Homo-oligomer: A and B are copies of this chain.
Amino acid sequence: MALSESSLAPVLAKLEQLVPWTDADRSAFRSLPFMLRDMGAGDHLSREGEAVGTCAALLSGFAYLHRILPDGARQIVSVRMAGDLLNLQSGLFRTASHNVQMLTPATMAMISVADLAALAAERPVIQRALWLATLIDSAIFSQWITNVGRRDAHARIAHLLCEFAIRLRGIGLCDDLTYSLPMTQEQLADATGLTSVHVNRTLQRLRREGLISSDKRSVTIEDWARLRREAGFDAAYLHQSVTMG
C-alpha cells in the first residue's frame, strides 16, 4: 500500500521532535498503511459537516482550514504545511467542523482512522507525540485568537509573517529570512479577519517601512528584530528548537 518507506518522513520528523522515540516506535510508525494522494490547488479534502473516515498527513504543499459563515464571510482558522496532520479532529470524532482545502498542489498520505488509532493504542510514545502535536496546534489557534481579537492590522499581518517564518524554518522551507508564501491577499485577509484591500495597504506599509519585501509569491523579512517587535511576536508557543537571526 505504501509506495515508499520514507514517504511519511516529514510527519515522522515533526513528531520525533516532541518526545524521544525508540527504534521500535519508528518502525511501527513507518509501517502504518497509507495511500498517497495528489491534490490540486483549491481542491477540497473535506467539508464542514461531512463525516470523515480517514486522516491525512500532508507530505508536501500547503492546505488551509476554513469556515464559511451564513452571510458568506470566510474565516481561515489554520494553515497547514508539510508534516502536519489533517482531519484528525474530523476523523476521530466523525464530524468536521471546518473545510479543508488545498492552498497549493499537495501530496498527502491518506491514513485510515482505525489504523492510526490502533497504532496510537499500541505505542504510547506515538500517541503522546500526536497529543503534543495537537497541543501545539491549539497554542497556535490561541495565538490567532489574540491576533484577530486585539492586534491592529499592521501587527496582525506582521505576526502572521513571523509565525510562518518560524514554522517554515522548522521544516527546512525558510533558510535565510525568505520563504514562499502561497497565499493570495484575499486569503491573507480571511486568515487575519481583514479585507483584501486592507491587507494590500498593510503589506505596502510593511514594505515601505523596510520590515519586509515581497514579490508575487514570496516574502523576505528585511528586519526580523523590528518586525518581531511590532508584531509582539514570541516564538515560544511554537515549541521549536530553531531560533531566528
Residues of A within 8 A of B (CB): 49, 65, 67, 69-70, 73-75, 77-78, 88-89, 92-93, 95, 97-98, 117, 120-122, 124-125, 127-128, 130-132, 134-135, 137-139, 141-146, 148-151, 192-193, 232, 234, 236-237, 239
Closest to A156 in B: B149
Cβ contact within 8 Å between B192 and A149 = yes
Please give me the 10 A-B residue pairs with the lowest Cβ-Cβ distance, nearest first.
A149-B193, A141-B141, A138-B138, A97-B237, A131-B131, A148-B149, A77-B142, A75-B146, A75-B150, A73-B150
B150 touches A92 (CB 8 A): no
A18 CB, nearest partner CB in chain B, Å: 9
Q: How many copies does the complex hold?
A: 2
Are B132 and A141 in touch, CB under 8 angstroms? Answer: no
Main secondary structure of the interface of A (DSSP, over half): helix
Partner of A131, one of B125, B127, B232: B127
Please tell me if the beta carbons of A77 and B145 are within 8 angstroms of each other in the complex.
yes
* C-alpha spacing A175/B149, complex, angstroms: 31
On whether A135 and B88 interact (CB within 8 A), knowing A97-B143, A124-B120, the answer reads yes
When the two chains form the complex, which single residue of B120, B142, B150 contacts A69, counting CB atoms closer than 8 Å?
B150
List, in ascending order, chain B residues with CB within 8 A of A69's CB.
Answer: 146, 150-151, 232
The distance in angstroms between the C-alpha atoms of A189 and B75, with both chains bound, is 20
A88 neighbours in B (Cβ, 8 Å): 135
Who on chain B is nearest to A66 by CB? Answer: B146
Whether A142 pairs with B93 at a CB distance below 8 angstroms is no
Question: Nearest chain-B residue to A122 (Cβ)?
Answer: B124
